[in-house]
């Protein structure tokens, strides 16, 4: 469940990238209303609160419902949906209970806002840097049409580079080579199905557990409608990254491909492709997986040493092809010989012995081998340690060192502790401990329970605990709030000194030393420093957002 400020931040990104009319459309699909002034549309576009609350309870909406709710013209809503679908911010689908088959009748198409894809727009510079670092500059340039100056995310490789009459064959060869590199690295994928048929009913348990079974079934949260829609829309692995269906410079053969049924060839409500073409888009999942692996490796490098980080990086590189999702709890099992072979292929692992590799595996949490003589790293515990360190740093900066020791004690114990026990173990004054505990509890960093013991004398005890799942949701919401405020301030600074962005470069470094020229240069330097500081802060804050939401 996405928090309130998460929705507001997503609407703010849509507003900055596409304008207010599209933002109003996305706000109707995402949230009932928003007090964010950057999302406020003209009065004729702002829907009634009661209608918005009803739409929020219903979830995905059809075209007619969006038109009635936003009070926009049908043409404006269609154009907005077209932009959002093309930029992977909205996915259209047909509910299975409303699908009528091929009898000529039209099925009702509903539109679902994709929150994660909207937030990924903030990370386009990181995605381009990954492609540039792992591959080369020409390959990263091929992703620019996909992002459309960090906005669009679907593209046709034929139009990626400008065609010239001087040497069209060389340009085509560059495009072909870059395209194959991106596809081999899974950084691009085929666009999803335009309107998949999705069952909106919650699947019932297929087979009940036998009575008296000693195996307790692990609780699994039911799939959300967004997860089911995305799963139905993504092409199968056989054609998702298949290069045989795409041939540069031959549109006729593309149109005759057996897989052309994946393309929307006649949808007037926001199709993602023209008839007879196969479109490709940036694969956000693979970029997020790369960033997650980077965090895991760097966290172990800081906690242990370079050797353990090198071994973990080698394991993740060889097992990433078998990962079915980003948030895997454990790495795929590998034998010690396979791990040693992969480690010796790296630059920092050439001099490692097999005993050194075995010792590092023990450091990484693999003291014993599995039953099949293989090793598997607990990645979930590494992510949890990184989250704990992030929250502990927030507590230290906000509440001080004494509160930090109290919070760290409760976080490590992972159980209820009484007030006097906390004061004694955390080495904090007993008179100061209740005040700090109440302050942490008031700001939602601790969970409290009152225990009344009735004996010869009635006693009341206060028990304290860190509820990590609830705390992480609260911290994530605060981070969305901070990202929203930082983005608003960044937009305000750009708008306030917008005239400086259009000043010629020779006037910013004038030959004369007049007071007017010095004042202009001083304003420009201030704007440059402010934009750099806020932009870098927003990117660092986004790293924390990914840690708590995507990893």
Domain end among 466, 489, 505: 466
pTM score, whole prediction: 0.82
pLDDT category of residue 34 using cuts at 50, 70 and 90: very low
CB of 430 within 8 A of CB of 439? no
Half-sphere exposure of 275 (CA within 13 A, CB side): 4
pLDDT in tens, 428-451: 999 999 999 999 999 999 999 988
pLDDT for residue 511? 56
DSSP character at residue 44: T
State the CB neighbour count (10 A cutoff) for residue 169.
Answer: 8
Work out whether strand 110-113 and strand 280-282 pair parallel, antiparallel, or are unpaired: unpaired
Q: Are residues 350 and 392 in the same domain?
A: no
Q: What confidence tens digit (pLDDT) does each residue in 313-336 have?
A: 999 999 998 888 899 999 999 989
Task: Answer yes or no: do 297 and 317 share one domain.
Answer: yes
pLDDT of residue 442: 94
- Strand 90-95 and strand 197-198: pairing? parallel
Contact between 110 and 95 under an 8 Å Cβ cutoff? The reply is: yes
Give the model confidence (pLDDT) of 502-540 as tens digits: 777 666 665 556 677 777 788 888 888 898 999 999 999
- DSSP secondary structure string, 482-503? HHHHHHHHHHHHHHHTGGGGGS
**Nearest of 296, 377, 312, 302 to residue 346 by alpha carbon:** 312
Task: Specify if 189 maps to a domain.
Answer: no
Domain-embedded: residue 54: yes
User: Quick check: 383 pLDDT over 70?
Assistant: yes
189 DSSP β-pair partners: 281
Is the same domain home to 22 and 101? yes
pLDDT computed for residue 522 by the predictor: 83
In a domain, 502, yes or no: yes
Is residue 268 situated within a structural domain?
A: no
**Residue where one domain finishes, among candidates 377, 394, 423:** 377
| Residue 47 pLDDT level (bands cut at 50, 70, 90) | very low
Distance CA 198, CA 217 (A): 27
Looking at residue 344, its pLDDT comes to: 92
Higher pLDDT, 96 or 276: 96
Co-location of 448 and 344 in the same domain = no
Bridge-based pairing state of the strands 61-62 and 447-453? unpaired
Q: Kindly state whether residue 153 falls inside one of the protein's structural domains.
A: no
- Supply the pLDDT for residue 29: 64
Q: Evaluate whether residue 221 is within a structural domain.
A: no
- Reported as a pLDDT band with limits 50, 70 and 90, residue 301 is very high
Domain that holds residue 341: 284-377
Same domain assignment for residues 386 and 371: no
CA 110 to chain CA mean position, Å: 23
**Phi and psi of 437, rounded to 5°?**
-65, -45
Instruction: Compute the distance between CA of residue 429 and CA of residue 174 in angstroms, rounded to an integer.
Output: 69
**pLDDT band for position 96 (cuts 50, 70, 90):** confident
Query: CA dist 12 to 36, 148, 465, 483, Å?
Result: 8, 19, 35, 10
Q: How confident is the model at residue 253 (pLDDT cuts 50, 70, 90)?
A: very low
pLDDT value at position 137?
72
> How far apart, in whole angstroms, are the C-alpha atoms of residue 274 and residue 82?
13
Q: Among 60-64, 123-127, 470-474, name the one with the lowest average pLDDT.
A: 60-64
Q: List C-alpha distances in Å: 159 to 189, 248, 249, 271, 303.
A: 17, 10, 10, 18, 47
Does residue 116 share a domain with residue 8? Answer: yes
Q: Is the pLDDT of residue 122 over 80?
A: yes
Which residues, in sequence order, are CB contacts of 316 under 8 Å at separation 6+? 293, 296, 297, 331
Q: Considering only CA atoms, which of 54, 12, 16 is closest in space to residue 32?
A: 54
45 with 70: CB under 8 angstroms?
Answer: yes
Question: How many CB atoms sit inside 10 A of residue 489's CB?
Answer: 14
Note whether residue 350 is domain-resident: yes
Same domain, 410 and 425: yes
Q: Has residue 550 got a pLDDT over 50?
A: yes
**Residue 370's pLDDT band (boundaries 50, 70, 90)?**
low
Q: Are residues 352 and 387 in the same domain?
A: no
- The predicted-structure confidence for 141-161, as pLDDT tens digits, reads as follows 777 644 443 333 455 555 555
Q: Do residue 461 and residue 527 come from a single domain?
A: no
What dihedral angle (degrees, nearest 10) is formed by the CA atoms of 9, 531, 545, 135? 120
- Contacts of residues 250-253 at CB distance under 8 Å and 24 or more positions apart, as own/partner, are 251/158, 251/276, 251/277
Q: What pLDDT score was predicted for residue 3?
A: 81
Provide the pLDDT for residue 218: 52
In this prediction, residue 388 carries a pLDDT of 95
**Predicted pLDDT of residue 448:** 92
- The better pLDDT of the pair 474, 252 is held by 474
Nearest residue to 248 via CA among 159, 153, 165:
159
Question: How is the beta sheet containing 459-465 ordered, strand by strand?
Answer: 417-418, 459-465, 447-453
| DSSP-H helix ranges across 261-334 | 284-303, 306-319
Q: What is the pLDDT of residue 250?
A: 42
HSE of 100 in the Cβ direction (CA atoms, 13 Å)? 7
**246, 164 contact by CB (below 8 A):** no
Last residue of a domain, one of 89, 121, 153: 121
Q: Phi then psi for 150, rounded to 5 degrees?
A: 65, 30
Name the pLDDT band for 423 (thresholds 50, 70, 90).
very high
**Beta 154-155 vs 447-453: how paired, if at all?**
unpaired
Q: Whole-angstrom Cα distance, residue 550 to residue 122?
A: 14
15 and 57 belong to one structural domain: yes
What is the domain count for the chain? Answer: 4
How many residues are there in the chain? 551
- pLDDT for res 458: 67
CATH of the domain at 324: 1.10.10.10
| Angle (CA) 252 257 262, round 5° | 115
Q: Note whether 117 and 8 are same-domain residues.
A: yes
Question: For the residues 67-93, what does the mean pLDDT come to?
Answer: 79
Same domain, 94 and 115: yes
Name the band, by pLDDT with cuts 50, 70 and 90, for residue 41. very low
Question: What pLDDT is stored for residue 377 in this prediction?
Answer: 92
- Contact (CB, 8 A) for 279 and 263: yes
Separation between Cα atoms, residue 264 and residue 270, nearest integer Å = 9
Instruction: Look at residue 424 and tell me if it is in a domain.
Output: yes
Residue with more model confidence, 292 or 79: 292
The mean pLDDT of the chain is 77
Half-sphere exposure of 333 (CA within 13 A, CB side): 9
User: Is there a contact between 126 and 539 (Cβ–Cβ < 8 Å)?
Assistant: yes
Q: pLDDT tens digits, residue range 273-289? A: 333 467 788 899 999 99
């Amino acid at each position: 469940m996405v928090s309130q400020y998460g929705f507001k931040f997503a609407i703010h990104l849509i507003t900055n990238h596409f304008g207010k009319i599209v933002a109003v459309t996305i706000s109707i699909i995402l949230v009932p209303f928003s007090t964010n002034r950057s999302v406020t549309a003209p009065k004729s576009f702002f829907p009634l609160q009661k209608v918005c609350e009803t739409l929020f309870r219903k979830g995905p909406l059809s075209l007619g419902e969006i038109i009635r709710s936003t009070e926009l013209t049908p043409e404006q809503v269609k154009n907005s949906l077209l932009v959002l679908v093309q930029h992977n911010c909205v996915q259209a689908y047909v509910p299975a209970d409303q699908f009528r088959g091929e009898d000529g009748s039209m099925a009702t198409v509903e539109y679902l806002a994709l929150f994660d894809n909207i937030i990924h727009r903030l990370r386009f510079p990181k995605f381009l840097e990954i492609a540039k670092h792992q591959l080369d500059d020409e390959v990263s340039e091929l992703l620019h049409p996909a992002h459309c100056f960090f906005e669009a995310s679907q593209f046709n490789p034929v139009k990626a580079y400008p065609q010239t009459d001087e040497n069209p064959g060389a340009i085509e060869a560059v495009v072909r080579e870059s395209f194959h590199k991106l596809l081999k690295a899974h950084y691009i994928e085929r666009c999803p199905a335009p309107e998949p048929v999705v069952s909106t009913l919650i699947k019932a348990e297929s087979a009940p557990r036998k009575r008296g079974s000693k195996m307790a079934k692990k609780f699994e949260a039911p799939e959300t409608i967004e997860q089911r829609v995305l799963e139905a829309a993504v092409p199968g692995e056989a054609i998702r990254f298949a290069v045989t269906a795409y041939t540069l410079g031959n549109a006729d053969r593309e149109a005759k491909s057996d897989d052309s049924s994946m393309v929307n060839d006649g949808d007037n409500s926001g199709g993602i492709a023209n008839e007879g073409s196969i479109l490709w888009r940036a694969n956000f999942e693979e970029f997020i997986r790369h960033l997650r692996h980077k965090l895991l490796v760097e966290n172990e490098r800081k906690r242990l040493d370079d050797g353990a980080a090198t071994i973990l990086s080698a394991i993740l590189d060889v097992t990433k092809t078998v990962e079915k999702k980003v948030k895997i709890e454990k790495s795929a099992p590998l034998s010690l010989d396979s791990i040693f072979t992969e480690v010796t292929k790296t630059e920092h692992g050439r001099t490692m012995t097999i005993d050194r590799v075995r010792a590092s595996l023990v450091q990484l949490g693999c003291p014993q081998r599995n039953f099949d003589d293989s090793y598997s790293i607990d990645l979930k515990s590494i992510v949890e340690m990184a989250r704990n360190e992030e929250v502990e740093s927030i507590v230290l900066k906000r509440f001080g060192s004494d509160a930090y020791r109290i919070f760290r004690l409760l976080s490590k114990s992972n159980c209820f502790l009484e007030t006097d026990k906390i004061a004694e173990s955390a080495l904090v004054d007993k008179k100061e401990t209740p005040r700090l505990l109440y302050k942490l509890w008031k700001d939602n960093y601790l969970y409290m329970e009152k225990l009344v013991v009735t004996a010869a004398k009635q006693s009341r005890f206060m028990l304290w605990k860190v509820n990590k799942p609830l705390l992480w949701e609260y911290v994530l919401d605060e981070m969305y709030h901070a990202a929203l405020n930082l983005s608003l301030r960044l937009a305000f600074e750009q708008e306030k000194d917008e005239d400086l962005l259009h000043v010629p470069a020779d006037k910013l470094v004038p030959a004369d030393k007049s007071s007017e020229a010095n004042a202009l240069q001083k304003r420009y330097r201030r704007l440059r420093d402010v934009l750099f500081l806020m932009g870098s802060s927003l990117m660092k804050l986004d790293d924390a957002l990914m840690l708590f939401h995507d990893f």
